[in-house]
Structures are given as structure tokens and as C-alpha cells.
A and B are shown apart, each in its own frame.
Chain A
Amino acid sequence: MGLIPLQAIRRKPVPDPADAPTEDIRELLFELEDAGELIVQRVPEPYIEVMTKYGRTKKIPVEQTWHHKSCGQCGHIPGYSTSIFWLNRKLGLDYFDPTDQTSCTAWNYYASATSNAAAQAGVAVRNFAAALETGYFPMIHCATSYGHYKEVRHELVHHADLRAQVRDIMGKLGKPLVLPEEIVHYSEWVHAMRDRFVEKQVYDFSNLTVTVHPACHYYKLIKEDAIYDPDIYGGERTATVSAMVMALGATVADYSTFFDCCGFGFRHILVERDFTRSFATQRKIEVMKEEANPDVTITHDTGCVTTLDKSQFSPEAHNRKVGIPVMSDAQFAALAMGAHPYRVCQLHWHSTDNRPLLEKMGIDWKAAWEEFSEDLARIERGEIEYLTWEEAGV
């Protein structure tokens, strides 16, 4: 094989933050704070530093996190949020799950355009002010909320008019204008903490093939603020999710539509469903099946899990080559560490059959389902009102 004099190992040089082509929005935040325009909530210690796209570092809090929940997650795939809490509890970390929280209301913005910049910013900073009041630092569960809040941060920093308007609205609520030092997605926390999960891993995942679907709103909005690592994909694609999956010992298999959107579309998944269904099937699931034949596909956003999981029933009825179980990185890590597939990961809410996957992981889902069925029976008999964390092992 006549090889030519190219570098044998092509390694991306670690980006120098001094060469970063964009502003560092955090510097601008602190300037505004000094000018008395807003309050910046600091990331509590201890924190882990991760690298973002242009070589800057980002602080990820280990604990004392205020969980900014995702409506789609808690509503339709509650095993996702439950797993995030379980991971915190398993590691003995202090966190807060608020009722003083609204969703980011992106459903009212990206989907229906029945909102505006001021309302969206108002919703965001109201949540941030609520977090500051508790002293816990916001951690965002949904990738859309995360991307949207990064946009809101940019708009507030750069538009004094908007800032004044929102400060005024907050004033009427008796709240200051607050922005956190970093906008942190929970999957960034999962990424930063992955070695601690590996320490507590009880199932061997080395026989698993995984495809990763990175969420559009995680890395395409305000691109510089997303995790990249020269050792993962040569620093060309976001390291979030993939690094964690690899750390747990599974193989990440590539496929040719990695960067494609899942097809969620917001409005589309509710009222123009043929788009979502066709897109998820033809551009993601079928391609993954054909090229990688994975045991599971892992992603880190509510919309993506919902779209990819729920869109497979219809095509299956049409004999399309689908049938890949779908779950979040949080559920995947939780399973690796011995979390109950039903009490914690709540896999019965998922549509695509994940039982063969559980078997391959070495998890006795039959026994687990019997236990859980007994829980359900006890609830129905009125013996217990709710399942507790104790019963979930944390």
C-alpha cells in the first residue's frame, strides 16, 4: 500500500483560548455586575473544569445544584429526571428539586411564536432568581432550555433596552436581575463526573454497541459554549455523551447522519407529525440500524429521546428496519451503577422494546418488573401513597 507522507497520527492541537474568535460572555457578565446592572450567581465549589470549543474552560458544579426540570421529561419520560436525581443521591451529593420553577416555556416560543424576547428572558431570569434565593446553582435538564437560556444570556448582555425592560418586570415581582456565572446542562455534569460513575459501575457494558445522538440545541446554539475534547472525535464533535458512554466501557459506533436533527420540530411532533416521524425514521433510526446496528441509542435531550423513542412504532408497523431502544445518558449511567430499571429509570414509559438491551446488560428485568408490579399493586391497594427514594436504593 503506497502510503504518502501525511502525518501518521493526525492529532488536533489543543485550541488556545487566546485565539478564541468569540467574546467570552462571562467577562461581559462580570462587567455588567460591576456596573450594578445585574447579579451573577457564582458556581459553588467544588467544581470541575471542562474544556469548551475554543479551548476556554467551563466550571461544572459537583453538587449544590438547583434542578431546572424539563416539562417533557418529567411529563412523558420521568425516568430521565428520576435518574438524574438518583445519580446525585447515589454519590451522596446535595441537590435541590424546586417547585418554585417554571419550564423555560420554549413551547411557547420556538413552537408557536406566541411569546417574545422579553417574556422569554423574564421566564429565564425569574427561574435564576428563584435559584439564587435557595443558594443552589441552576442545572438545566433540557437541551432546548439550555440552548435557549444561552441565547437569552446573549440578548440580555448585548441589548440594554431588553435588560432594562426585564429588570423592570423582575422589579414588579420583587426580584433582582440574576444570571448564573455558567449555564450548565446536566449532561455536562454527567460528562464531568463520569469517572465517579465508573467507580461505582456494577454491570459490564463492554459488549454493548451504542450510537450517540447529540442534541441540536445543545451544541448548535451559541456554539462556543459546549464541551469539546481533543481526545474525543479529534475535537471535531462535541464530547458530551460520547465520552461518558466510552468511559462506561461501551463502544460508540459512528453513523453517517450524526449531525442530523432528530426531527422533533417542536410544533411538528404535536401537529405535523408526519414530518417528525419520517425524519426520525429515515434520517436517524434506519441509518443507525443499517450502519451501526447498535444495542441502544443514547442522547441527552428530552425532545430527542421522545422523538427517537416514540417514532418507531408506526414505521415498525410498516415493516421499516427500526427497533433501537432509546434512553438518556443519565438512565444509561444509572443502569450501569445498578439502578432499578423501573423504579428509577422508569423504562415502562419508553415505547421501543428495551428488554433485550437489559438482558444484554445482565440485568434481570423480569425480576425487576415483578418487584415493580408489586409496588404498583401496593399503591393501588392504598398501602403506600408513593414510591420513595429508599425503595429506589438511595
Chain B
Amino acid sequence: MTTATRAPALFTRDPGATLSPNHYTEVPYEEKLRLWEQVKADSRFPDYMYGCYECGICVAACPSARFYDFSPRKIAQAAGREDVELIYEQMNDDVWNCSQCFSCDRCPRQNSPGGLITILREVAVANGLASSKKALEGYTRIVYKIMTTGTQVSPDMLQPDAFPDWGPDVRTVSENLDTWRRAMPPETHHTTSASWIVSKKTLTELYLIWHYSGVMDMIAQVDEGLHMIIMDVMEESLEEAGYEI
């Protein structure tokens, strides 16, 4: 993909030396470096990044590499070389192609390019990068669902407009949803707004986990409106349960 405009350098802390064609020239180097330092500071980073000898096993096993112009090997190489410019570019353009299957965990050096990408994405989201907001554009109702009910792909999400390419069966399901959901023995399944009936106490505990682990700050970066409605739901429930946050 990249044609180097400068000779590749080993010590890419030098802002003038990178393999990246440097599309994000408007973003200062210090800012890119700051984000990279956040990635490295994550507790999972040492488990995901050792060294890379460019064997290509990760690319060979990667489904996204077959479909997109995407290479987990380049992710690992950029991280290993600490090529901050290239990493910033990948954080914006490449990380959302990964299908998080972890086939790349076959790496003989024990790197996890998929794991690195998980951290890169989280840093992008937590810092409100426009590319992350764009990637999550169609996703806000899903975040809402999982964070407020503790489940996702609930029965009521089986709507034809959500899954147009799944065929007419989706319409059939959505039209018969209530009856069909009653026509199954497990008691916990007798609901349509969540995947199973989740107790109130459980949800209270879940909200406390979101609150104390700092996830709500990340949501605020993704979408203000989303943050607001989730906070409303959480606050109401926590108040009822006697918590003040």
C-alpha cells in the first residue's frame, strides 16, 4: 500500500522519518505521540506486543486481509517500530477493518495484532477521533441496548430494515414476534425487549460497573446524545436502588 516518500528509518521518534505518506498532516506529531503513549500504557499492551519478524502468518490467517486492504503484519510492524505517524493513520483508517477473530494469535512471537487493534480502537474512541465516531455511526442503538439491558441483538431488533439482506424471514419473525416468543419453554426467554429477562438488581450492578470503570467517559466521546440517554436510564435505576453517583 505505502510507497515510502522517505527512506525508512529505524528510530521513528524522529518526526521526519516514517513510512506513512502522512495524510494527517494537520494533526501535530505531539498529539499522535500522546495517543501512542496511551496505547502503550494499557495493561494489556505487553501481552499483545513482543517483536515481529514479518513471517506473515497473521496475514495468511486473517479474513479481513482477504477483503480489505488491511494487514495485521503492518499493524504489528508499525507498533514494533513505534512509527507514530503510521500508527496514527492506522488508528484512523485501518483498525475498523479487523473482524476480531484472533486468527492472528497464531503469531509465533506471541503478538496479538487483533489485541493491539482492540487497544488502538479504544484509544481512538476515548479521544473522540472523528474516524471512530464515523465507524460507530450506525451502531449507537446497539451500544444503548447492550449498556442498558445487558444484552444485545434482542428479539425486537429483528426488523426488516435492520437486516434487509437476510430475506423475507425477518419480516415473518418481526410480525409474529410476540407469539413466537411465548412459544418456547425457557421462562427467561419470555421477553422481546432483551434477549432474556434480566433482573433489576443485575442491571443496577451493571450500571455501577459502567460508572466505576470509566466507560461512560468513553461513551461521551462517541456521541453526546447517546451518553445522555444512557445516563438517564442509569441514574433513574440507581436512584431507585438507593445509589447516588
Contacts and interface: CB of A to CB of B under 8 A. Distances in A.
B29 interface: no
Interface in B172-228: 173, 176, 179-190, 195-199, 201-203, 205-206, 208-210, 212-215, 218-219, 222
A264 B101 CA distance: 8
Nearest to A110: B100
Nearest to A85: B186
A173 interface: yes
Given A126-B206, A221-B102, A108 B151 contact: no
Q: What DSSP secondary structure best describes chain B's contact surface?
A: helix
Contact of A267 (B96, B106, B122, B176): B96
B92 interface: no
A254 interface: no
B44 A386 contact: no
B94 interface: no
A343 B186 contact: no
Interface residues of B, number: 81
B130 interface: no
Interface stretch (B7-15, B17-25, B78-86, B142-150): B142-150
Contact of B151 (A71, A117, A130, A267): A71
B152 A75 contact: yes
B67 A75 contact: no
Contacts of A380: 179
Interface stretch (A152-160, A188-196, A198-206, A360-368): A152-160
A380 B179 CA distance: 7
A115 interface: yes
Given A82-B186, A379-B179, A114 B43 contact: no
Contacts of B184: 78-79, 82, 343, 346, 386-387
A258 interface: no
Given A75-B154, A103-B195, A313-B165, A97 B186 contact: yes
Contact of A113 (B66, B125, B173): B125
A118 B166 CA distance: 36
Nearest to B125: A113
Contact of B44 (A155, A223, A313): A155
Given A100-B201, A107-B152, A155-B47, A75 B166 contact: no
Given A114-B143, A116-B218, A387 B183 contact: yes
A368 to B, nearest CB: 13
Contacts of B100: 110-111, 265-266
Contacts of A385: 182
B121 interface: yes
B215 A123 contact: no
B55 interface: no
B125 to A, nearest CB: 5
Contacts of B118: 109-110, 113
Contacts of A169: 208-209, 212-213
A372 interface: yes
Contact of A103 (B122, B142, B152, B173): B152
A118 B118 CA distance: 14
B242 interface: no
A275 interface: yes
A117 B43 contact: yes
B213 A119 contact: yes
A81 B185 CA distance: 10
A268 B169 CA distance: 21
Contacts of A108: 143, 146-147, 215
Q: Tell which of B61, B103, B135, B150 has the most Cβ of chain A within 10 Å.
A: B150
Contacts of A165: 213
A176 to B, nearest CB: 13
Interface stretch (A10-18, A38-46, A236-244, A277-285): A277-285
B124 interface: yes
Contacts of B180: 348-349, 376
Contact of B218 (A74, A114, A117, A389): A114
B102 A114 contact: no
B190 A313 contact: no
A13 B235 CA distance: 59
B145 to A, nearest CB: 8
Nearest to A392: B185
26 contacts: A71-B151, A81-B189, A100-B201, A102-B203, A102-B206, A103-B146, A103-B150, A107-B153, A108-B143, A114-B143, A114-B215, A116-B122, A118-B214, A119-B214, A123-B209, A155-B47, A158-B47, A168-B212, A169-B209, A172-B208, A265-B99, A267-B96, A283-B66, A310-B163, A351-B166, A351-B169
